Amino acid sequence: MSSTTTSLTSIFPAIMCGGNGTRLWPLSRALFPKQFLPLVNDTSMLQDTLLRLPRDISEPVFICNEEHRFLVAEQVRQLSQKQSTILLEPEGRNTAPAIALAAIHALEKDKNAVLLVLAADHVIQDTAAFHQAVEQASIAAQQGKLVTFGIVPTHAETGYGYIKKGCEHTVGIFDVAQFVEKPNAQVAEDYLVSGDYLWNSGMFLFKASRYLEELAKHRSDILENCQQAMTDVEHDLDFLRPNKAAFLACASESIDYAVMEKTDFAVVIPLDAGWSDVGSYSALWEVCEKNEDKNVLKGDVIAHQTTNSYIHSQNKLIATVGVENLVIIDTPDAVLVANKDQVQEVKKIVEQLKLEKRSEAVLHREAYRPWGKYDSIDKGERFQVKRITVKPGAKLSVQMHHHRAEHWIIVSGTAKVTIDENTVLLTENQSAYIPVGAVHALENPGKLPLEMIEVQSGSYLGEDDIVRFEDKYGRV
């Protein structure tokens, strides 16, 4: 980079990991949303976001909620990334407060810190163009500008907000004339034809100090609450927990409404880099590699006389004959069949599942935990069977249940089992019985994963029937 640009080590990526991706149900669920899924290639969207960052950039700051914290930590660990900070929002308050938390934290590390605000669930196919735009934006940031990246539109999209370009005061950098809401089809077509409008990507770059200055000018209440929350931070493993009461006092406001639409220093850089927010199955179909019949086929699929479709199997063979323009998704506990032109309506299915309090809206059959994972392979009125995998060195919480007993059968590996005052080591084909009300713990002391079958029986088998007494992951 030239001397007029920001040193890479002063740029702190602030990666927003919120969102539930309801339009990508049943692949995406509330507790395992799309940013943690390998939708486009073999790495998750969050990992893709990390891998496309410029080299030698500062360690990222992640902003996520309590439920997703171990997913973020594990996916960062899988990439052997440098030490990162994970800021935990006590509750979602939209982007303006979240970015304020990241800015305050970055300034504690470097008084010249520049924030590169990114979403964890975007696709950017042209990494070189993205790097060039970041370098260009860093020049404007040094001049005190608040830069947003506007996507050069490829079609008249009604699902995005738009940014109208103003004067070009530096080559490739435009004043922001106006932020506009999602348009109808005719207005979107007019925007496309004019060439004056860009899609609002929700990506930004600016000095952390400048963002806080502008936030103080336009929404001082949000800044004050965030500053108070960051003066009383709880450190927990790799996580930082801002003060809950102070943060919950924040108004819920997007950065667009709180700052970017009001400031006199907003500029936009057009970005033409194969960007998508993958907000629906039709968008996912667009960015994935297709065969000669314009099908995207994932998993065990046989497609005969099938065209223009997205078919994804996680669990069993899907065979299609004589269909077109369909989305077919198979997971272990749900199947979705939809017309590709109506996939925006998938969110209505999720709303119905939530109304009925069905677990399929929230959980996959296979659920991840900081100690490993479990797969609910069968269940009935008074029983449930799980296949449990415990990572080497990991330990489940010391806990008890009011309503269920459990049988543990070791399939492979070694288990250290504590039931009340007794501790034993169990290996393959050995088992243990945990009565209702017994205080118990499970640990993998070995070097290999522990695989076991858990059979639960009782009057209530919900995950909330857990009383934790001790937990190495801070979940007590």
Give me the pLDDT at residue 237, please. Answer: 72
- What is the average per-residue pLDDT within 119-132? 96
Residue 420: pLDDT over 80? yes
Q: What is the mean pLDDT of the chain?
A: 94
Q: What is the C-alpha to C-alpha distance for residues 143 and 267, in angstroms, rounded to an integer?
A: 11
pLDDT band at residue 267 under the 50/70/90 scheme: very high
Task: Domain 366-470: give its CATH architecture.
Answer: Sandwich (2.60)
Q: Report which secondary-structure segment, H or E, holds 283.
A: helix 281-287
User: Of all residues in the chain, what percent carry a pLDDT higher than 70?
Assistant: 97
Least confident of 206-220, 260-274, 369-383: 369-383
Q: Peptide bond before 270: cis, by omega within 30 degrees of 0?
A: no
Q: What is the C-alpha to C-alpha distance for residues 444 and 454, in angstroms, rounded to an integer?
A: 15
The one-letter code for the residue type at 319 is A
For 77-122, the pLDDT digits (tens) are 888 766 689 999 998 899 999 999 999 999 999 999 999 999 999 9
Task: Domain 8-276: give its CATH architecture.
Answer: Alpha-Beta Complex (3.90)
Per residue, the 3-state secondary structure of the chain, as one string, reads: CCCCCCCHHHEEEEEECCCCCHHHCCCCECCECHHHCCCCCCCCHHHHHHHCCCCCCCCCEEEEEHHHHHHHHHHHHHCCCCCCEEEEECCCCCHHHHHHHHHHHHHHHCCCCEEEEEECCCEECCHHHHHHHHHHHHHHHHCCCEEEEEECCCCCCCCCCEEEEEEEEECCEEEEEEEECCCCHHHHHHHHHHCCEEEEEEEEEEEHHHHHHHHHHHCHHHHHHHHHHHCCCEEECCEEECCHHHHHCCCCCCHHHHHHCCCCCEEEEEECCCEECCCCHHHHHHHCCCCCCCCEEECCEEEECCECCEEEECCCCEEEECCECEEEEEECCEEEEEEHHHHHHHHHHHHHHHHCCCHHHCCCCEEEECCEEEEEEEECCCEEEEEEEECCCCECCEEECCCEEEEEEEEECCEEEEECCEEEEECCCCEEEECCCCCEEEECCCCCCEEEEEEEEECCCCCCCCEEEECCCCCC
For 273-283, the pLDDT digits (tens) are 999 999 999 99
Burial class (CB in 10 A: 0-12, 13-18, 19+), 208: buried
Q: Please state, as a whole number, how many other Cβ atoms lie within 10 Å of the Cβ of residue 127.
A: 15
pLDDT band at residue 3 under the 50/70/90 scheme: very low
Q: Contacts for 430-438 with beta carbons within 8 Å, 24 or more apart?
A: 431/407, 432/407, 432/408, 433/405, 433/406, 433/407, 433/408, 434/405, 434/406, 434/407, 434/408, 435/405, 436/401, 436/402, 436/403, 436/404, 436/405, 437/400, 437/401, 437/402, 438/400
Q: Where are the domains of the chain?
A: 8-276, 281-349, 366-470
Residue 5: pLDDT over 60? no
- What is the average per-residue pLDDT within 22-42? 95
Burial class (CB in 10 A: 0-12, 13-18, 19+), 386: buried
Give me the pLDDT at residue 368, please. Answer: 85
pLDDT band at residue 367 under the 50/70/90 scheme: confident
Length of the chain: 476
pTM: 0.89
For 306-365, the pLDDT digits (tens) are 999 999 999 899 999 999 999 999 999 999 999 999 999 999 999 999 999 998 999 898
